[in-house]
């Protein structure tokens, strides 16, 4: 179990480094886009996903260190509505 915890911590750290690049560059791109445009909404979705990924990293690191997590309630409907916007954009790009 100790080895699994160390492996989890290492993967989480590497993933966090990738997220930092994705989040930072997404913020730079977002700053150049016109508010309300489709591209701005997609950039906002990427930024939000990077934030959720960072939360996942925090949970993985907590597991690796055997730390107590603080559960919180979430607005599931709100999260699903945000993700629903992504599907049509992805479908348009494949056409």
pLDDT tens string 1-58: 677 777 888 888 899 999 999 999 999 999 999 999 999 999 999 999 999 999 998 8
**DSSP-based three-state secondary structure for 46:** helix
Please tell me the distance from the alpha carbon of residue 17 to that of residue 24, in angstroms, as a whole number: 11
Is a pLDDT exceeding 80 seen at residue 88? no
Cβ contact 57:19 at 8 Å: yes
Looking at residue 89, its pLDDT comes to 59
- pTM for the whole structure: 0.63
Looking at residue 92, its pLDDT comes to 47
- The dihedrals phi and psi of 84, each to the nearest 5 degrees, come to -65, -30
Q: Pick 88 or 35 by higher pLDDT.
A: 35
Is a pLDDT exceeding 70 seen at residue 93? no
């Amino acid at each position: 179990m100790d080895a699994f915890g160390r492996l989890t911590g290492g993967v989480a750290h590497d993933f966090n480094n990738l997220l930092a690049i994705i989040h930072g560059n997404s913020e730079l791109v977002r700053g150049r886009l016109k508010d309300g445009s489709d591209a701005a909404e997609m950039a906002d979705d990427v930024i939000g996903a990077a934030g959720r990924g960072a939360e996942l990293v925090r949970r993985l690191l907590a597991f690796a260190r055997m730390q107590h997590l603080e559960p919180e309630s979430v607005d599931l409907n709100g999260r699903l509505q945000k993700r629903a916007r992504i599907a049509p954009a992805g479908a348009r790009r494949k056409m």
